[in-house]
Amino acid sequence: MKSKIKIPQLTKKEFPFTFYLAHWIDCNSTCSWETLKTIKNYKPTICISTGWLVSTNNNSHTFVSDVNFNEDGTLGDCGNTTTIPSVNIIKLTKIRI
Protein backbone atom coordinates (compact mmCIF):
# COMPACT_ATOMS: atom_id res chain seq x y z
CA MET A 1 0.00 0.00 0.00
CA LYS A 2 1.32 3.45 -0.95
CA SER A 3 1.83 5.95 1.84
CA LYS A 4 0.23 9.32 1.36
CA ILE A 5 2.65 12.17 0.84
CA LYS A 6 1.63 15.55 2.18
CA ILE A 7 2.00 18.08 -0.63
CA PRO A 8 3.44 21.36 0.69
CA GLN A 9 1.80 24.61 -0.40
CA LEU A 10 3.45 27.89 -1.35
CA THR A 11 1.98 30.71 0.73
CA LYS A 12 1.86 34.29 -0.53
CA LYS A 13 3.62 35.36 2.66
CA GLU A 14 6.52 32.98 2.10
CA PHE A 15 6.62 33.24 -1.72
CA PRO A 16 4.82 36.42 -2.89
CA PHE A 17 5.68 36.12 -6.59
CA THR A 18 3.56 35.99 -9.74
CA PHE A 19 4.00 33.27 -12.38
CA TYR A 20 4.62 34.48 -15.95
CA LEU A 21 4.98 33.34 -19.53
CA ALA A 22 7.78 35.50 -20.97
CA HIS A 23 8.42 36.02 -24.68
CA TRP A 24 11.90 37.41 -25.24
CA ILE A 25 14.67 37.86 -27.80
CA ASP A 26 17.99 36.07 -27.44
CA CYS A 27 21.20 36.51 -29.37
CA ASN A 28 22.69 33.85 -31.63
CA SER A 29 26.33 33.00 -32.04
CA THR A 30 28.51 30.26 -33.41
CA CYS A 31 32.13 29.27 -33.05
CA SER A 32 32.27 27.55 -36.42
CA TRP A 33 33.49 28.93 -39.72
CA GLU A 34 30.65 30.31 -41.86
CA THR A 35 30.45 32.19 -45.14
CA LEU A 36 29.86 35.91 -44.97
CA LYS A 37 26.57 35.36 -46.84
CA THR A 38 25.38 32.96 -44.12
CA ILE A 39 26.49 35.27 -41.31
CA LYS A 40 24.63 38.24 -42.81
CA ASN A 41 21.39 36.22 -42.65
CA TYR A 42 21.62 35.44 -38.92
CA LYS A 43 18.72 36.72 -36.83
CA PRO A 44 18.00 36.79 -33.09
CA THR A 45 15.91 33.95 -31.68
CA ILE A 46 12.47 34.41 -30.13
CA CYS A 47 12.27 32.44 -26.86
CA ILE A 48 9.56 31.55 -24.37
CA SER A 49 10.30 30.97 -20.69
CA THR A 50 8.02 30.39 -17.72
CA GLY A 51 8.52 31.00 -14.03
CA TRP A 52 7.87 33.13 -11.01
CA LEU A 53 9.21 36.67 -11.44
CA VAL A 54 11.37 37.09 -8.32
CA SER A 55 13.37 40.20 -9.24
CA THR A 56 13.39 43.15 -11.63
CA ASN A 57 16.66 44.70 -10.45
CA ASN A 58 19.49 46.18 -12.55
CA ASN A 59 17.50 46.44 -15.80
CA SER A 60 16.76 42.71 -15.81
CA HIS A 61 13.99 40.26 -14.98
CA THR A 62 14.87 37.11 -13.00
CA PHE A 63 12.55 34.12 -13.13
CA VAL A 64 12.56 30.93 -11.05
CA SER A 65 10.91 27.85 -12.57
CA ASP A 66 11.32 25.30 -9.77
CA VAL A 67 11.15 25.25 -5.98
CA ASN A 68 11.63 22.52 -3.40
CA PHE A 69 10.61 22.08 0.21
CA ASN A 70 12.33 21.26 3.47
CA GLU A 71 11.16 18.24 5.48
CA ASP A 72 8.99 20.51 7.65
CA GLY A 73 7.13 21.77 4.54
CA THR A 74 8.76 25.22 4.45
CA LEU A 75 10.23 26.60 1.25
CA GLY A 76 13.67 25.20 0.47
CA ASP A 77 15.73 26.11 -2.58
CA CYS A 78 14.85 27.57 -5.98
CA GLY A 79 16.15 26.21 -9.27
CA ASN A 80 16.13 26.73 -13.02
CA THR A 81 16.63 30.47 -12.89
CA THR A 82 16.73 32.70 -15.93
CA THR A 83 17.82 36.35 -15.91
CA ILE A 84 16.80 38.26 -19.02
CA PRO A 85 17.77 41.86 -19.85
CA SER A 86 14.57 43.92 -19.61
CA VAL A 87 15.12 45.35 -23.10
CA ASN A 88 14.98 41.80 -24.52
CA ILE A 89 11.49 41.08 -23.17
CA ILE A 90 8.80 41.35 -25.84
CA LYS A 91 5.76 40.32 -23.79
CA LEU A 92 4.95 39.18 -20.24
CA THR A 93 1.73 37.29 -19.58
CA LYS A 94 0.60 36.56 -16.02
CA ILE A 95 -0.40 32.93 -15.51
CA ARG A 96 -2.81 32.16 -12.71
CA ILE A 97 -1.86 29.00 -10.86
Averaged pLDDT score across all residues of the chain: 94
Q: Are 27 and 42 in contact (CB under 8 A)?
A: no
| Residue 44 confidence (pLDDT) | 96
Which amino acid is it at 46? I
- Domain range enclosing 84: 19-95
Residue 45 — pLDDT band, cuts 50, 70, 90? very high
User: Is the Cα dihedral 81, 82, 85, 90 positive or negative?
Assistant: negative
Query: Is 7 within the bounds of a domain?
Result: no
Q: What is the mean pLDDT of residues 71-88?
A: 95
What is the total count of domains within the chain?
1
| Residue 4 confidence (pLDDT) | 84
Q: What is the mean pLDDT of residues 21-26?
A: 98
Q: Are 70 and 14 in contact (CB under 8 A)?
A: no
Query: Is 44 within the bounds of a domain?
Result: yes
Query: Is 31 within the bounds of a domain?
Result: yes
| Residue 9 confidence (pLDDT) | 86
Query: Is 34 within the bounds of a domain?
Result: yes
Query: Is 38 within the bounds of a domain?
Result: yes
Query: Is 12 within the bounds of a domain?
Result: no
Query: Is 89 within the bounds of a domain?
Result: yes
